[in-house]
Amino acid sequence: MTKSNSVKLAELYPEMFTWAERGYKHNVLESTYNKALAFVHKHIKFTRSIGYIKQSNPYDYGFDINDGWYKLVYELILKIRNNDQAKGKWVTKVTQCKEKFGGLRFYVTGTSDKNWDLIREAEKKSYGVCEVTGSEVEVGVWNGGWIITLCKKEALSKFAKLSDANELNGKTFDELWKPREASVTIETPKKKRK
């Protein structure tokens, strides 16, 4: 994802992307510094390169997806933020956001069942949205080594570029891109509480 879109997503809910070192407890000074820095970063953009103490800078968060899923992730973050605010001072932390096997993967820690349902819904919806353009028309699976969810228009463009570069290895368009069917989507089972 482009840096500008990554920053726009982090601005929605910066606390969500400040993953602290595991097992590290901030003292009062460090905690106060990080809170003050978060406030400054939110209002004065040129300060965003200043680092936090033992925690990641939300504006440097790396979304390992293409811009086509920007809207999908944007809506997901807003819904999670609203659920967290309804719970009080609770903050869901994102550990990773990436593409895997042609679908969105949004890994979090410490969240509610409501948010898990929202995440599963967004992950399922990603199989019907082109990862590059964001189109929901004629979406399918590109299987040219790395599985990608692409619309037919983008797949044809990719096929033409590979053809011009003589990198098709004798494969046809129908072998590389297949329309996606609803039955192909992967369902993540809900974890049971002990």
For the stretch 159-168, pLDDT in tens is: 999 899 888 8
Give the model confidence (pLDDT) of 179-188 as tens digits: 987 544 455 5
Alpha-carbon dihedral angle through residues 48, 49, 52, 57, given to the nearest 10 degrees: 70
> What b/e readout covers 145-183, taking b as 16+ CB neighbours within 10 angstroms?
eeebbbbbebbeebbeebeeeeeeeeeeeeebbeebeee
Residues 61-82 have a mean pLDDT of: 93
The answer to whether residues 8 and 77 belong to one domain is yes
pTM for the model: 0.78
The answer to whether residues 51 and 147 belong to one domain is no
End-to-end CA distance of the chain: 38
Residue 118, domain extent: 1-12+62-194
pLDDT at 154: 93
The answer to whether residues 91 and 185 belong to one domain is yes
Whether residue 84 has pLDDT greater than 70: yes
pLDDT at 152: 93
The answer to whether residues 135 and 187 belong to one domain is yes
Residues 138-162 have a mean pLDDT of: 91
The answer to whether residues 8 and 80 belong to one domain is yes
- The percentage of the chain sitting over the pLDDT mark of 70, rounded to a whole number, equals 90
Beta partners for residue 99, in sequence order:
104
Q: How many domains does the chain divide into?
A: 2
Whether residue 141 has pLDDT greater than 50: yes
Closest to 61 measured CA to CA, from 38, 28, 85, 94: 94
The answer to whether residues 67 and 150 belong to one domain is yes
pLDDT at 91: 84
Considering only residues 59 and 194, tell me which one the structure prediction assigns the higher pLDDT: 59
Any idea which of 43-57, 107-121, 122-136 has the lowest mean pLDDT?
Answer: 43-57
The answer to whether residues 81 and 127 belong to one domain is yes
pLDDT at 21: 58
pLDDT at 191: 62
